[in-house]
């Protein structure tokens, strides 16, 4: 048997890669990666495969990023989408990806699941945090994604619970829709320069986060597929906006609609501006008949404000990082601010 080799996606037959991705992923994710993987990972060189005897048996990708850690810009990689063909698992092939990715950057970042993946990362030397939460605002409980997709006894229980909550949710929708948030508005047209300027004037050395310069915004949003799904909201004065919020309004199937708040930035001590931005975005979600709004809250200030607006349900999100630098390992043990725009949190599901 020949030795397995790690190659970049641009070094293999595209049809072989497409076939493998459709074998191991859902049709929704497979189609997305085949159509937009080069944008998602910023280059096909950042999409890795393991080839054995001419066959693809594994896939792993990275998303290059720049972070702002303790007041300094630091390049890093989000490690995502590692998967081995079920017929070849348990034979150590994952280690080939681990070694290759660790050679590509001084700092690796990720969002492992709260079960086996987090335990494996810890065994491999990664630090893992468990203090971030995905918050859920159920605008229409019967149209929440987990309720619609659940099957069997669990599905029956969730649908009964959603039915009970529906009158309360309707009352809450009316209350939010009737509010009049001040000094906030919707951006008419995407402008990465305005968004970057808000980040630059609001960033704090004590908060570790993604480095949001104009190049970042133009890649992550300006070049994104389905640009009509994205909405941009601003707060402050029209001459000098102080905060922004970016939301994505999606439709799945014929009638399942939902909203993700991908990013929110500004002075988090200005609770009025943050609360008004959240309210405006939720009002827009209501007008679009979204069944739910989700938000990744990794700092206490945002979590508290979101709770007051109705984001009362939550689930744990783990964050992990790895570096040979003790300074970088220590830095990320501090206050971190990550969003649904980071890594593959906004991937098709």
pLDDT per residue as tens digits for the range 109-159: 999 988 888 888 898 899 999 999 999 999 999 999 888 888 899 988 989
The answer on 142 and 89 residing in a single domain is no
The mean of the pLDDT values for the chain is 94
The answer on 139 and 240 residing in a single domain is yes
Q: How many percent of the chain have pLDDT more than 90?
A: 85
- Residue in this structure with the two tokens 């063909």, named with its chain if needed: 85
Assess if residue 346 is contained within a domain. Answer: no
User: Residues 291-317: pLDDT tens digits?
Assistant: 999 999 999 999 999 999 999 999 999
The answer on 230 and 92 residing in a single domain is no
Assess if residue 49 is contained within a domain. Answer: yes
Q: What is the mean pLDDT of residues 257-279?
A: 97
User: Residues 215-228: pLDDT tens digits?
Assistant: 999 999 999 999 99
Q: What is the mean pLDDT of residues 249-255?
A: 86
Instruction: Pick 120 or 66 by higher pLDDT.
Output: 66
The answer on 216 and 154 residing in a single domain is yes
User: Given this model, what pLDDT does residue 253 score?
Assistant: 77
Given a cut of 90, is residue 280 above it in pLDDT?
yes
How does DSSP assign 281-325, residue by residue? HHHHHHHTT-SEEEEEE-SHHHHHHHHHHT--EEEEEEEEEEES-
Given a cut of 70, is residue 1 above it in pLDDT?
no
The answer on 167 and 86 residing in a single domain is no
The residue from 105, 120, 155 where one domain ends is 105
User: Given this model, what pLDDT does residue 208 score?
Assistant: 97
Q: What is the mean pLDDT of residues 69-88?
A: 95
Confidence of residue 343 (pLDDT cuts 50, 70, 90): very high
User: Given this model, what pLDDT does residue 112 score?
Assistant: 92
The answer on 144 and 12 residing in a single domain is no
Q: How many CA atoms lie within 13 A of 170 on its CB side?
A: 7
The answer on 309 and 172 residing in a single domain is yes
Assess if residue 343 is contained within a domain. Answer: no
Q: Per mean pLDDT, which range of 96-110, 150-164, 205-219, 332-346 is the poorest? A: 150-164
d(CA 230, CA 186): 11
The answer on 140 and 86 residing in a single domain is no
The answer to whether 63 touches 36, Cβ cutoff 8 Å, is no
User: Given this model, what pLDDT does residue 229 score?
Assistant: 97
Question: How much is the pTM?
Answer: 0.95
Which of 66, 56, 41 is CA-nearest to residue 7? 56
Given a cut of 90, is residue 335 above it in pLDDT?
yes
Assess if residue 20 is contained within a domain. Answer: yes
The answer on 146 and 101 residing in a single domain is no
User: Given this model, what pLDDT does residue 148 score?
Assistant: 84
Number of separate helices (H) and strands (E) present in the chain: 11, 14
Task: Read off the tokens for 32.
Answer: 């997305």
User: Residues 16-33: pLDDT tens digits?
Assistant: 999 999 999 999 999 999
User: Residues 178-195: pLDDT tens digits?
Assistant: 999 999 999 999 999 999
Q: Based on the structure, what is the number of domains in the chain?
A: 2
The answer on 85 and 32 residing in a single domain is yes
The answer on 257 and 180 residing in a single domain is yes
Q: What is the mean pLDDT of residues 162-167?
A: 91
The answer on 165 and 32 residing in a single domain is no
Assess if residue 344 is contained within a domain. Answer: no
The angle at the Cα of 213, spanning 333 to 228, to the nearest 5 degrees, equals: 105
User: Given this model, what pLDDT does residue 90 score?
Assistant: 87
Range of the domain at 61: 5-105
Assess if residue 342 is contained within a domain. Answer: no
User: Given this model, what pLDDT does residue 284 score?
Assistant: 98
The residue from 105, 122, 146 where one domain ends is 105
Confidence of residue 283 (pLDDT cuts 50, 70, 90): very high
Pairing of strands 335-337, 207-210: parallel
Assess if residue 251 is contained within a domain. Answer: yes
Q: How many CA atoms lie within 13 A of 343 on its CB side?
A: 21
Task: Read off the tokens for 301.
Answer: 């200030």
How does DSSP assign 53-76, residue by residue? TTEEEEEEEEEEEEEEETTEEEEE
CATH assignment at residue 73: 3.40.630.30
Assess if residue 273 is contained within a domain. Answer: yes
């Amino acid at each position: 048997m020949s030795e397995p080799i790690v190659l970049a996606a641009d070094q293999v037959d595209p049809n072989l890669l497409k076939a493998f991705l459709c074998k191991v992923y859902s049709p929704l994710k497979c189609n997305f990666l085949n159509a937009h993987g080069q944008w998602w990972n910023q280059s096909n060189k950042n999409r890795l495969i393991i080839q054995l005897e001419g066959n693809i048996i594994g896939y792993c990708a990275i998303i290059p990023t720049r972070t702002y850690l303790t007041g300094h810009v630091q390049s890093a990689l989000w490690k995502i989408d590692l998967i081995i063909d079920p017929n070849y698992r348990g034979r150590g092939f994952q280690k080939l990806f681990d070694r290759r990715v660790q050679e590509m950057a001084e700092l690796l970042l990720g969002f492992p699941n709260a079960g086996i993946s987090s335990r494996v990362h810890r065994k491999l030397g990664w630090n893992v945090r468990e203090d971030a939460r995905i918050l859920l605002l159920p605008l229409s409980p019967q149209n929440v994604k987990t309720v619609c997709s659940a099957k069997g006894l669990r599905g029956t229980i969730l649908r009964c619970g959603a039915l009970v909550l529906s009158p309360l949710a309707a009352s809450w929708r009316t209350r939010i829709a009737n509010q009049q948030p001040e000094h906030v508005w919707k951006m008419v047209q995407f402008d990465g320069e305005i968004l970057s300027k808000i980040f630059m004037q609001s960033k704090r050395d004590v908060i570790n986060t993604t480095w949001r310069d104009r190049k970042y915004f133009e890649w992550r949003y300006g070049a994104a597929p389905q640009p009509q799904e994205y909405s941009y909201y601003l707060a402050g004065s029209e001459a000098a906006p102080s905060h922004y919020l970016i939301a994505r309004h999606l439709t799945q199937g014929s009638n399942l609609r939902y909203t993700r708040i991908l990013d929110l930035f500004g002075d988090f001590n200005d609770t009025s501006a943050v609360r008004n931005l959240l309210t405006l975005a939720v009002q827009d979600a209501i007008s679009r008949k979204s069944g739910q709004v989700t938000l990744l809250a990794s700092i206490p200030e945002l979590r508290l404000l979101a709770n007051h607006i109705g984001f009362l349900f939550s689930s744990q999100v783990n964050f992990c990082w790895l570096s040979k630098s003790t300074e970088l390992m220590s830095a990320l043990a501090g206050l971190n601010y990550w969003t649904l725009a980071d890594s593959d949190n906004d991937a098709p599901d």
